[in-house]
Structure 1
Amino acid sequence: MKARYISLGPLIDWRRVNRPIDWNEVFRNDDPVVLEIGFGNGEYLIRRAKTEANKNFVGIEKEWQSVWRALRRIAQNQLSNVRLLKADARWAVHHLMGTGVFSEIYSLFPCPWPKERHVSRRLFSNRCLKRLNNSLVGGGVLWIVTDDDVYANWIKEQSEGSGFQVLHEFIPPSFGTKYETKWVNEGLRQFHKITLIKKQDSLFMPEGEIIVRTYRVSEFYPNDFYPDPVRGNVVVDFKDFLYDSNRGKALLRAVVVEDEFVQDFWIEISRSRDGRWHIKPASGCGWIPTVGLQKALDAVYAYCTKRSEQTGAAKQS
């Protein structure tokens, strides 16, 4: 298969570095760092990096097609001051960004999630804004451009108590991105620009990652292996199950949804040297240590324990 990117050098494998990320170490300098949340195909990000060589730029995007297009642009322009993260911004802003590191954060045309049942998926909730305030240097600026009237007003409402001074203005098309071009072609000639200037630190403590608890059980019965799904604020569904009797190893695919953040990974159940079975996230899956992941492991452990007790009781009878 032909690679659609030229070089993967600017792409940060955030699963293999210390978190939060030390951007001075990444760029090997102490120049101001600018963050773009949702860079699309990278048009605006790359233009700024070219014209503002005295700054470092970080872009977050979760779609691979957008990432490889941006990687091509970075290589074609021979830029050394851009790094990319392929990640869900709703998780990344809380765990990857650090405190007091960005001089500027911006987002162009984030999805407004207009339906009432989807409001929880919107970026820039009050909690998110407080975290972004925490990531900015003193006097740093967060600005958001949107075509959506309701979303613009919602962001202003969410800014209450976030430590920002809020400015709202209308601006003409200015960025030349894919979505801006789309709205212009549909007849829009002005957009909302919400500028939030950090005036004080928000009363927000960044979340630490949970320490994943794995399990060992004395018995494991692969036949008819159906752990119970989890429901509530966190949803866990179990999908495919594979078992290799020769290697003494099973893999169970889990899909976890929490706060609209989705993980799809494998849980490994493997026989240890002491004869017990170890329940843990499988390596190589790129899993993230969240409450939902832990609940998936808890559910597998609970099922294994229950099966062991049932089997033991049946043998005694």
Structure 2
Amino acid sequence: MTMSLPSPTSTPDPATPSDEPQASGAAEAPRRAIRSFVVRAGRMGTGQVRALAELGPRFVLPFKPAALDFAATFGRDAPVVLEIGFGMGAATAQIARSLPDHDFIGCEVHEPGVGALLKLIGEQDIPNIRIFQHDAVEVLEHMIPPATLAGVHIFFPDPWHKKRHNKRRLIQPAFVARLVQHLRPGGYLHCATDWEPYAQQMLEVLSAEPLLENTAAGYAPKPDYRPLTKFEARGLRLGHGVWDLVFRRKI
């Protein structure tokens, strides 16, 4: 389930500060914070457009700087899992169907992905998913109350392969420190990647966070609830690796 983050191109990323020195006088303008995503263009299929129009009002939550009431949002009191970057949503839908006693909030800025997940929600009658089409960092900061999440899923975020772009990776100490504040005691953080250098960085960063403890001796076996994607299955057939990391917030 790849997050909607493209590899760097020659086009500057408008949401991320440039690697080049600022021009004279730029210090007077406010700097934009590094976001958890880069928006990319994509075509919307007919079914995605229809799902967005018909199901968006019910399942897509508006972003606003106010704490989200989980029970009011889902109509029940259940454990809530946040997913950051659900891509086209196939794995998200499958997980939500397999865990009907949990509620899921997905953050994805890529509109075709939002439309695709809404289409699956409608076709498969999945009531326990809500979506933010917004930057997950801002959703966390403004709408997720502290110590409330039962879990967080971050599956196959953009690895930003080039060394000079590694700073754009989502899993960084400052972000993890912020993220863990929203996990309830005993809540888990599950990351997965198919890029070994990023897996190594993830393990280092997560292990260094004092409020987290590893559930495995290093990398974790793939939990049963995370489905094998077609892309992942193809990679495994070709001998590529996939690394899962599952950490819990200390009680």
- Structure 1-normalised TM-score? 0.57
- 1:181 to partner: Cα distance: 4.2
Match of 2:26 in 1: none
- In the TM superposition, 1:160-179 aligns within 5 A as 160-166=208-214, 167=216, 168-169=218-219, 171=221, 175-177=227-229, 179=231
Aligned: 1:199 with 2:250:
yes
- 1:86 to partner: Cα distance: 0.8
1:148 partner amino acid: W
2:232 partner amino acid: E
Match of 2:168 in 1: 121
Aligned: 1:149 with 2:196:
yes
- Structure 2-normalised TM-score? 0.71
2 CA distance for matches of 1:22 and 1:172?
A: 31
Going from structure 1 to structure 2, the CA distance change for 1:126 and 1:39 (only over 3 Å counts) comes to same
Name the stretch that deviates more: 144-153 or 187-196: 187-196
Match of 2:232 in 1: 180
1:165 partner amino acid: E
- Could you list the runs of 5+ residues in structure 1 that have no partner in the other structure? 201-317
Contact 1:129 1:162 survives alignment (8 Å):
no
Contact 1:169 1:193 survives alignment (8 Å):
yes
- 1:224-252 deviations in Å (ceiling 9; x for gaps): xxxxxxxxxxxxxxxxxxxxxxxxxxxxx
Going from structure 1 to structure 2, the CA distance change for 1:108 and 1:161 (only over 3 Å counts) comes to closer
Contact 2:151 2:183 survives alignment (8 Å):
yes
Secondary structure of residue in 1 paired with 2:116 = helix
- 1:19-74 deviations in Å (ceiling 9; x for gaps): 23222221122111011111111111111211221111111111001000000000
- 1:85 to partner: Cα distance: 0.9
Higher helix share: 2
- Could you list the runs of 5+ residues in structure 2 that have no partner in the other structure? 1-44
Q: Which runs of 4+ in 1 moved over 3 A?
A: 170-174
2 CA distance for matches of 1:109 and 1:196?
A: 16
Aligned: 1:13 with 2:62:
yes
- 1:254-274 deviations in Å (ceiling 9; x for gaps): xxxxxxxxxxxxxxxxxxxxx
1 CA distance for matches of 2:210 and 2:170?
A: 14
RMSD: 2.3
The percent of aligned pairs where both chains have the same amino acid is 26
Contact 1:104 1:140 survives alignment (8 Å):
yes
- 1:88 to partner: Cα distance: 2.1
- 1:182 to partner: Cα distance: 5.2
Going from structure 1 to structure 2, the CA distance change for 1:178 and 1:135 (only over 3 Å counts) comes to farther
Secondary structure of residue in 1 paired with 2:121 = helix
